[in-house]
Amino acid sequence: MPPQLLVLTNGHGEDQIARQLIDALRRRSAEQGIAPQPVVVLPLVGQGQAFAAAEARGLLQRQGPRQTLPSGGFSNQSLGGLLRDLGAGMAGLSLRQWRWLRHWGRSGQPVLAVGDVWPLLLAWRSGSPFAFVGTPKSDYSWASPPPHGWGTTLLADAYHRCKGSEWDPWEWRLMASGRCRLVAVRDALTARGLRRHGIPALAPGNPMLDGFRPTLPPPWLAGQRRLLLLPGSRMPEALQNGRRLLAGLAAWQSPQPSTVLLTCGDQPSATDWQVLLSDGGWREAAVPADAAAAGASHCWRRGHLTLLLGAGRFRSWAPWAEVGLATAGTATEQLVGLGVPVLSSPGSGPQFKAGFARRQSRLLGGAVQPCRTPSELAASLERLLEDPMLRAQLGRIGRRRMGPAGGSERLAQLLLHQLLG
């Protein structure tokens, strides 16, 4: 049997990327007549529910110390979030994970770290050969101008400019370890910045865009404006986000029938949305048969607007949208990568705060436009819907920033050759 591969992930988006990579590794191994690699996953943030289905099928195992923390992995966004996480036991969890990695490393079995400095540090700590897929950082987030009216980060930008990379010197040191077999980052600009510091970083493609099948909107959406609403999945923040996005929709005087496709995970629940929408003047209605066949479970109406709820329908509904209204992380980037411009509305966090929204807009070249108020969101929505050339321009920018699909397959081949070979 080949050695086990340990996969470390550092958040919900990283869980999804790792799941894509694990699937691609199995496909590549089968194509090359190699026995499938036994995979162990340690989600460093939360319980790693993205791996539950694969675990139930016997394709991997979740092991090691895990705990759900109040910030959902965003303690670095605010002092309050950090203090709440520390009060919930973050320090003890980190120490247990540190010790567990050292125990793993005694076997010398390989480690794949997906995320930022914490999984990178743990992979190095293990003493095993490792590979690193650096997902959150991009030099675009300081090399691109901030959205108009959203302030500047002059000190941080100057710091990154002096380094020539958003990654920091202590991170370069870990990546330069003789046991680090592969460093892959999200875009060529960021890879070039690391190579200037002697890190042989590659940008083989972005796994975030794998698994989408471009499809035309179905006939039952013909003649309607099509919006995709993505509030995120972390509770209770997702409901707070949803309330702000719905307030923007309420301020928008839709001149023609429009369908809002609302998709999230298991949370918030349909009951949560029912309460929120009823408070906002929406009335529940029967789900049209065509919409039900497409995965919609609930329907609400307000004037010319029809809102359909479909849990877990993001991948099938995203290609249908003209504009996204989003306060999510990974899902927003995926939507932009499909060529759909997005409007966001930051709140009190812990994740989707003003700083996060500003950085996301810079990262994606303005293909995501943050809005401070419901009226600003409504005006921006009207402008985008009435200007197809602007939508197309922002769509092209988003596609360029996210890169092409196929990154999982290319990364899997590199891992088989450089880490697992």
What is the homologous superfamily of the domain 219-402 according to CATH? Glycogen Phosphorylase B; (3.40.50.2000)
Tally of residues, the chain: 421
pLDDT confidence bin for 318, thresholds 50/70/90? very high
Shortest CA distance to 312 belongs to which of 285, 331, 340?
Answer: 331
Question: pLDDT tens, 227-237?
Answer: 999 998 777 88
Q: What is the mean pLDDT of residues 107-111?
A: 92
73 has a pLDDT exceeding 70: no
State the pLDDT at residue 406: 87
How much is the average pLDDT of 387-407?
Answer: 93
- pLDDT tens column, 82-105: 666 666 667 888 889 889 999 898
pLDDT at 72: 59
Query: What mean pLDDT, rounded, does the chain reach?
Result: 90
pLDDT in tens, 8-64: 999 888 999 999 999 999 999 989 888 788 999 999 988 888 899 999 999 999 998
Q: What pLDDT, on the 0 to 100 scale, is given for residue 169?
A: 95
Mean pLDDT of 117-135: 95
* Secondary structure (3-state) at 202: strand
Q: How far apart are CA 128 and CA 261, in angstroms?
A: 45
Q: Which residue has the higher pLDDT, 185 or 76?
A: 185
Is the pLDDT score of 75 beyond 90?
no
pLDDT given at position 80: 57
In which residue ranges of the chain is CATH 3.40.50.2000 found?
5-136+167-210+405-418, 219-402
Q: For CA atoms 36, 48, 119, 364, give the dihedral sign.
A: positive
Q: What is the pLDDT of residue 71?
A: 60
Q: What is the pLDDT averaged over residues 242-257?
A: 90
Domain covering 5-136+167-210+405-418 in this structure, CATH number: 3.40.50.2000
What is the structure's pLDDT at 110?
95
| pLDDT of residue 182 exceeding 70 | yes
Tell which wins on pLDDT, 265 or 81: 265
Please give the average per-residue pLDDT across 180-201, as a whole number.
95
Across 124-133, average pLDDT: 95
Do the bridges between strand 298-302 and strand 283-285 make them parallel or antiparallel, or are there none, so unpaired? antiparallel
DSSP state of 94: H
pLDDT of residue 88: 62
Task: List, for residues 360-373, the tens digit of each pLDDT value.
Answer: 999 999 999 999 99
Please report which residue ranges of 42-130 form alpha helices under DSSP H: 52-56, 79-87, 90-105, 117-126
Helix axes 374-386, 388-402, angle to 10 degrees: 100
Candidate from 97-106, 163-172, 192-201, 265-274 with smallest mean pLDDT:
265-274
With 60 as the cut, is the pLDDT of residue 77 above it? no
- Tens-digit pLDDT profile for residues 255-276: 889 999 999 877 788 888 999 9
Confidence grade of residue 181 (pLDDT, cut at 50, 70, 90): very high
Residue 157 has pLDDT above 60, yes or no: yes
Other Cβ atoms less than 10 A from the Cβ of 393: the count is 14
Q: In this predicted structure, what is the pLDDT of residue 137?
A: 93
pLDDT for 144 beyond 80: yes
User: In this predicted structure, what is the pLDDT of residue 361?
Assistant: 95
CA–CA distances in Å: residue 325 to residues 168, 232, 233, 309, 419: 33, 11, 14, 14, 40
pLDDT at 79 over 70: no
Q: What is the pLDDT of residue 177?
A: 95
Please report the pLDDT score of residue 23 as a whole number.
94
Low-confidence winner among 198-207, 270-279, 348-357 (lowest mean pLDDT): 348-357
Helix, strand or coil for residue 186? coil
